[in-house]
Amino acid sequence: MLDKIDLKKILFLDIETVPEKEHFDELSSYRKELWAQKSAYQRGAEESPEAFYGRSGIWAEFGKIICISVGYFVAQTEGRNFRIKTFFGDEKQLLIEFKELLDKHFNLRTHVLCAHNGKEFDFPYIARRMIIHSIDLPKSLNLFGKKPWEVPHIDTMHLWRFGDFKHYTSLKLLSEVLGIPSPKDDIDGSEVTRVYYVEKNIDRIVTYCEKDVVTIAQVVLRFKNESLLESEEIIWLR
């Protein structure tokens, strides 16, 4: 199937998320109670809800999106290039802008979204946060009533599973075994919350997110047995 998909029809993406509030004490009493219930199965009895709150960014009910980076291939007279753009800032506004991109430029049945672990994280997270902000879902995220083969999503982690659904492989590991330069040359996912709330350095997070998008595209190129992107083929739209 992947070999039949035109690279120019794919929108590659990655998101970064953090807890919606910096500190547990900023939550209302009711929200604290809900968080305790939501996190109970993961944190266990030995860890308090407050101590575990730093990980709340992975749940759309308690976290928020601070940036969405996207990438897409553009055909040239000779060769190709890969363009990178990031939406960041106020969450509702970045979601509106991302939806506008999908509605205007990636709205055909032949268009697909691609992310690493996107089916279990990025795609549902974006959809849930859009609903929370009263934003109509774009076609590519509105999956109600669709059959599995009608969902316009590619997940590079699922591609690597080859049907082995107990198998999890990080993007960092997958890029290493496929001979792709690692994107993790600055921060990693565990540091995003600190960089956002303590350092207040969104530019650093955007750079990290954009490098992941490039790596996801490189993984797809390897699956299609095509040459990897060279640095001069990548255009950063800042």
* CATH number of the domain enclosing 215: 3.30.420.10
- ∠ CA 163-167-84 to the nearest 5 degrees? 90
Q: What is the pLDDT of residue 116?
A: 97
Question: Taking a C-beta distance cutoff of 8 angstroms, is the pair 189, 67 a contact?
Answer: no
The closest of 34, 35, 52 to 43, measured between CA atoms, is: 52
Q: Specify if 208 maps to a domain.
A: yes
Q: Number of C-alpha atoms within 13 angstroms, CB side, residue 31?
A: 14
How confident is the prediction for the chain on average, in pLDDT? 93
Burial class (CB in 10 A: 0-12, 13-18, 19+), 119: middle
Q: Specify if 57 maps to a domain.
A: no
Question: pLDDT tens digit string along 61-114?
Answer: 999 999 999 999 998 777 899 999 999 999 999 999 999 999 999 999 899 999
Q: What six digits make up the tokens of 153? A: 């999503």
Q: Specify if 179 maps to a domain.
A: yes
One-letter amino acid of 35: W
Tell me how many domains the chain contains.
Answer: 1
Q: Specify if 97 maps to a domain.
A: yes
Query: Considering the entire predicted model, what is its pTM?
Result: 0.94
Q: What is the pLDDT of residue 61?
A: 98
Q: What is the pLDDT of residue 26?
A: 97
Boundaries of domain holding 232: 2-20+62-236
Burial class (CB in 10 A: 0-12, 13-18, 19+), 198: exposed
Q: What is the pLDDT of residue 102?
A: 97
Q: Specify if 205 maps to a domain.
A: yes
Question: pLDDT tens digit string along 182-199?
Answer: 755 678 888 999 999 999
d(CA 209, CA 20): 19
The closest of 11, 209, 183 to 105, measured between CA atoms, is: 11
Greater confidence (67 vs 166) lies with: 67
Q: Specify if 102 maps to a domain.
A: yes
Q: What are phi and psi of 80, to 5 degrees?
A: -155, 165
- ∠ CA 225-109-103 to the nearest 5 degrees? 110
pLDDT band at 214 (very low <50, low <70, confident <90, very high): very high
d(CA 205, CA 31): 27
The closest of 163, 176, 191, 164 to 222, measured between CA atoms, is: 176
Question: Taking a C-beta distance cutoff of 8 angstroms, is the pair 49, 29 a contact?
Answer: no
